[in-house]
Structure 1
Amino acid sequence: MTKLPVFTSSLLHPRYWINWFCIGLLYIIVLLPYPLLYKLGTSLGRLAMRFMRHRVAIARCNLLLCFPDMLEKEREVLLRQNFESLGMGLIETGMAWFWPEWRVKRLAYVSGLEHIKHACEENKGILLIGLHFFTLELGARIFGIYNPGIGVYRPHDNPLLNWLQTWGRMRSNKSMLDRSDIKGIIRALKNSDIIWYAPDHDYGPKSSVFAPLFAVPKAATTSGTYILVRMASPAVIPFVPRRLPEGRGYELIVFPNERLFPQENAIAVATYMNYLVERAILLAPDQYMWLHRRFKTRPTGEPSLYR
């Protein structure tokens, strides 16, 4: 497990000065009142659409693949809202890492914590299913305030940013685990810990099976969920942190334990997991990270969906 990283003088090297400037700027910005942060974040997201044309094209393609029956005009509105959420995601990362607990709690409305309590009373480890929403960092902070757990993450290549993200995420969590440390994750679940786990990205052909996701019949989906469920028999509890309209705060929704979660094979597990992913995304489709190439891995011989 990764403990709170030790700050070293090497992180003050001139190569990191631009990083430090950006970190300091974000720290100062999130001192502003939330209504101003909301306006700033959404405006920043709309501005980003002009410069991130490649990501705009990917997001537009993902929305078309997943919602082919939606009117084009409606998808374009959703696309704009999605990039507004991208801008807010940057602001919310600063809020998650730098805000004091009282300020986070003042904006957060939480429901369903009793499902965590029931699973803990049964001495079960909890596989907490989180998704790649732009509210990811803030959602993890809110959840950790009430139920500290263990985060699963990919270490950042930049040592300073790796230190910062780990420090920020451990403000309300017990520890961190590298996403490749499957044995460590299983061990934690068997010890009745809460593991924050995101199974909704395309992690490549070596660790995936193909299962339906929205209107895409073959979406590469991690087979890691099957291993974890089979080896540790945890409670499987999805949660969604969504931003309320017009800057009214945040709602953290914790769902009941999925007691009928299948375990027979990796495809059955991936199919059911994608059903849970769909259900969660539909609660806040404008806040999901559509700008990633979710369907980049294709079955052998099938063309790319992004051409």
Structure 2
Amino acid sequence: MSTKPLFCKSLLHPRYWLTWFGLAILWLWVQLPYPVLLKMGRLIGEFSMRFLKRRVSIARQNLKLCFPHYSDAHINSIVKQNFASLGMGLIETGMAWFWSDERVRKWFDVRGLENLNAACEKGRGVMVIGVHFMSLELGGRVMGLCRPMMAMYRPHNNKVMEFVQTIGRSRSNKAMIDRRNLKGMVKALKAGEAVWFAPDQDYGPKGSSFAPFFAVQQAATTNGTYTIARLAKPVILTTVLIRKADGSGYQLVIEPELADYPVDDEQAAAAYMNRKIEHEIMRAPEQYLWLHRRFKTRPFGQDKLYTA
């Protein structure tokens, strides 16, 4: 479990100078007014398509698999918007790590905060199901401003990035839990904590079930949600941070408790959670992380779905 880390001299080693330089540029960027940041982020994202050809191919393939009824023109339009959102996601990371609470609060509103409060008042842990939108980092900061919590995450290989992101993510939250630390998450939930967890990526065949996800009938889906729900018996609800189309900021949407989660059937639980994630994605599909190879794990004997 990671709380605010201590600075050590090894972080000043020359191997990290480029990382520090990049973080300094990001800090300078996010001092600009939000409307300027929004335009800048979108331009950076669209420009990156020239160099991230493999990711463009993955995003396009994911959309074709999930929405086979969409025309090529429609898919290409979403891909372009998706990369604009990716660029803004970079800027939002800096906003999440470096903005003051006052400045963050100025740019978001909340729908459904009473759902989170009601869940926390039950005296049980609360498993907050998140979705990998491009605004994910900012979403964690916003959620923490509403109610400080813990979050599952993957530690960064770069020690400077790990140091800075842990400090940034802890500005309005309690602690970070390594996503491999299942016992730590269960312990936190049993202690009555609220813990953020995102089960919408392909984490490989181990500990996964194959369940429908949009038009893909067999998508590897982590059983982590099911296992944690069985062990910790938390209240479960979903939340996403949506970037408003008119450029006026963000809306944090917190849904009511998932009262009908199937705790006695692993396969049904995987399918159920995928349906809930689909619902959240369709609030703003162009803002979702389609660049991830969501369907890289296939059932034994089935062909791969990506050429890149």
Flag whether TM exceeds 0.5 (same fold): yes
CA-CA distance at 1:72 after TM superposition:
1.7
Which residue is equivalent to 1:36? 36
* Matches of 1:58 and 1:120, distance apart in 2: 39
Pairing 1:252–2:252 present: yes
Describe the superposition over 1:218-238 as per-residue Cα deviations: whole angstroms up to 9, x where unpaired.
000001111101111111110
Which of structure 1's runs of 4+ aligned residues deviate more than 2 A?
none
* Matches of 1:3 and 1:234, distance apart in 2: 23
Residue 23 of structure 2 aligns to a residue whose secondary structure is: helix
Residue 206 of structure 2 aligns to a residue whose secondary structure is: helix
Pairing 1:15–2:39 present: no
CA-CA distance at 1:287 after TM superposition:
0.5
Pairing 1:284–2:276 present: no
Residue 110 of structure 1 aligns to a residue whose secondary structure is: strand
* Matches of 2:70 and 2:258, distance apart in 1: 30
* Matches of 1:278 and 1:141, distance apart in 2: 23
Which residue is equivalent to 2:74? 74
CA-CA distance at 1:245 after TM superposition:
1.1
Q: Tell me the TM-score normalised to structure 2 length.
A: 0.99
Residue 50 of structure 1 aligns to a residue whose secondary structure is: coil
Which residue is equivalent to 2:186? 186
Q: For structure 2, which runs of at least 5 residues remain unmatched after alignment?
A: none
Describe the superposition over 1:184-223 as per-residue Cα deviations: whole angstroms up to 9, x where unpaired.
1011111110100000000001121100000000000001
Q: For structure 1, which runs of at least 5 residues remain unmatched after alignment?
A: none
Instruction: Read off the aligned partner of 2:21 and give its amino acid letter.
Output: F
Residue 151 of structure 2 aligns to a residue whose secondary structure is: strand
CA-CA distance at 1:173 after TM superposition:
0.4
* Matches of 1:269 and 1:2, distance apart in 2: 29
Which residue is equivalent to 2:303? 303
CA-CA distance at 1:246 after TM superposition:
3.6
Identity between Structure 1 and Structure 2 (%): 50
CA-CA distance at 1:121 after TM superposition:
1.4
Describe the superposition over 1:143-186 as per-residue Cα deviations: whole angstroms up to 9, x where unpaired.
10110000110111111111111111000101111001111101
* Matches of 2:35 and 2:113, distance apart in 1: 28
Which residue is equivalent to 2:122? 122
Q: Tell me the TM-score normalised to structure 1 length.
A: 0.99
Is residue 120–residue 194 contact of structure 2 (8 Å, CA) maintained in 1?
no
CA RMSD of aligned residues (A): 0.7
Instruction: Read off the aligned partner of 2:160 and give its amino acid letter.
Output: L
Mapping of 1:128-143 within 5 angstroms? 128-143=128-143
Which residue is equivalent to 1:47? 47
Paired positions, count:
307
Residue 163 of structure 1 aligns to a residue whose secondary structure is: helix
Residue 206 of structure 1 aligns to a residue whose secondary structure is: coil
Residue 50 of structure 2 aligns to a residue whose secondary structure is: helix
Residue 156 of structure 1 aligns to a residue whose secondary structure is: coil
